[in-house]
Each structure stands twice: as C-alpha cells, then as structure tokens.
Amino acid sequence: MMSLAALSETAHEAEQLAAQPPSVAYDEQRRWVEFETEALPHLDVVFRYAMWLTRNRSTAEELVQETYTQALQSFHRYTTGTN
C-alpha cells in the first residue's frame, strides 16, 4: 500500500544507509528489520481503521503514512514484546 513517493524515499534511505560506516549501517539496518517485523504486519488493520475514521481513501493513506513515520522515528524507544 506504499505510494511511489514512499518507495522512492525508502530507496533513497537505503542509498544513504549504504554510504554510512559499517557499524552505523548495521544498527540502522537491524532497526529497520525489527520495525518491519513488529509494525508492518499491522498495516492492513491500521489502514482499515483509518478508512473507518476518515471515510476517505487519500486521507486514510496520509494518516497511515504519518502514523508509521512517527512510529519509525520513535522505534528506538520500543521494547520488543511489549504493546
């Protein structure tokens, strides 16, 4: 459900990650994998809830994108196995 802009941004982030020193790149890569494992399985449910709240597809997509962006930015504080 990611837009082309979001996919392009993800590709750009991957390029930036590759340019970083190995230890920093590894930590960022591990964080991304953990985020994918914990958060992305809930994407469909989050989108359906956003659709129910907004009754508008484009608004729901924006809401989900903003929600996941904030979740990724705060993910360093997340403890695996917690709510």
Ranges in the chain, pLDDT < 50: 7
- State the pLDDT at residue 54: 97
- State the pLDDT at residue 26: 63
Nearest to 61 by CA among 70, 52, 50, 69: 50
Distance CA(23)–CA(70), nearest Å, equals: 24
Prediction pTM value: 0.63
- State the pLDDT at residue 48: 97
- What is the helix, strand, coil percentage profile of the chain, to 5? 80, 0, 20
Q: Which amino acid is at 79?
A: T
Burial, 25: exposed, middle or buried (Cβ in 10 Å; 0-12, 13-18, 19+)? middle
